[in-house]
Chains A and B, each alone.
Chain A
């Protein structure tokens, strides 16, 4: 009889279990899209391309400026008179394939780029985002009157870069970017045309809308007599809903990968740095 008593005591449980929570019934949807978002908010960390992609069928317009060296002081208003400008349009063919075209006033360079996302960091899955970035550059500033032997191919340059990023926690993202770039014409004879570099960069969120960003490019085969320096940049991102403003200091005035890695003239130890910004707008 004892068993029976116990059963009667359990009876309310049997009935109660029928009053199933309606919510539980539909709460079977496991969160499928577990991709990490917003490792970087800008398409660039500062100078280096980031692993952020333009989403499908969206068009980004990025205006970048690097003013002249702040070293000159008030004479040309801390570089305001010597600005280099780059206008860049990037279109998302898909979320993983981006095409870009740009024009920079540095050596009147036209550039086109192809950015491909190969892997995407996922919670409990792939630990990194891997993006391939390729560009072709056309230097239109070379003057045929001064360089009579000049051929069209001398104007060209190429970049192939692997961007590997990881969002370590909600505030900190890091990236490493092994880079190969080739300039068909280099500024000094001793410099090899094919050049190698390792880029490192990161973003650390300070508040919900401010982050501090840094990147550095280590050139691996710079000619010993080269006057050019490795680019180091530090800046802040400010995000509002539809824009990202990136404000920074860098010792590289040019903004294409080949040019900021190969032809950065500024020197931090000398206070010879440039103030600049990248401003992106989505259409």
Chain B
């Protein structure tokens, strides 16, 4: 008898686990070719700008959580020397190959999304170069069919991530870096 109860409990736990997993997957939207661009150009000097078009991001419409991941070496500059320098000396991608973001919509019912673009507040943690930084921003979000589109921007500084800009180039690189993103998430 004891054994039977035990089995029933185990089986039902397994079933609950599977059901939860399924229901979790249902509300998820994913994008594997999202775009992130950052720019730290100063007027009159050479453009300091790079973009990555293979960013992965995922949105859980049930919980309002979002996560994104970009490989640092996926950021491409116009000037290859600048790109090499960025990887070797600033962001040290050999040691820190990824940038990640974990965030949350604080005040948005994702079930109510439609073709009209809405503004929503998002906050989360950006991690790169081994350092973390809280980021808060307004993003534009809309849903067309099975696709959720999110775009937005925020500003960070190299200092936030312990990236030191040497004096010799200090006036060629803006103090603040504008980061823009554009994700098109498709229902999983």
Contact = CB atoms under 8 A, between A and B. Distances in A.
A23 B100 contact: yes
B56 A29 contact: yes
Contact of B69 (A7, A14, A26, A37): A26
Contacts of A207: 166
A242 interface: yes
Interface stretch (B3-11, B111-119, B136-144): B3-11
Contact of B84 (A4, A7, A15, A37): A37
Given A22-B102, A25-B58, A7 B85 contact: no
Interface residues of A, dominant DSSP:
loop
Interface residues of B, number: 45
Interface in A230-262: 239-244
Interface in B135-176: 164, 166, 168-169, 172-173
Contacts of A23: 67, 69, 100, 102
Interface in B33-84: 46, 48, 56-58, 60, 65-69, 71, 73, 79-82, 84
A33 to B, nearest CB: 5
B67 A25 contact: yes
A58 interface: yes
A26 B71 contact: no
B66 A22 contact: yes
Contact of A241 (B10, B71, B172): B172
A209 B81 CA distance: 12
B88 A37 contact: yes
Interface in B79-112: 79-82, 84-85, 87-89, 94, 97-98, 100, 102
A1 interface: yes
Contact of B67 (A22, A38, A240, A242): A22
B82 A241 contact: yes
A26 B20 contact: no
A1 B2 contact: yes
B26 interface: no
Given A18-B24, A22-B65, A209-B89, A38 B13 contact: no
Contacts of B102: 21-23
B104 to A, nearest CB: 10
Interface string B1-32: 01001100110010011001100100000100
Given A29-B69, A37-B88, A4 B100 contact: no
Q: Which of A33, A38, A242 has the most chain B CB atoms inside 10 A of its CB?
A: A242
Nearest to A7: B9
B17 A18 contact: yes
Given A38-B88, A208-B166, 11 more contacts: A4-B2, A4-B9, A7-B6, A22-B66, A37-B87, A38-B87, A41-B81, A123-B94, A207-B166, A239-B85, A282-B80
The 6 closest A-B pairs by CB, nearest first: A22-B67, A23-B67, A208-B89, A18-B20, A241-B82, A55-B80
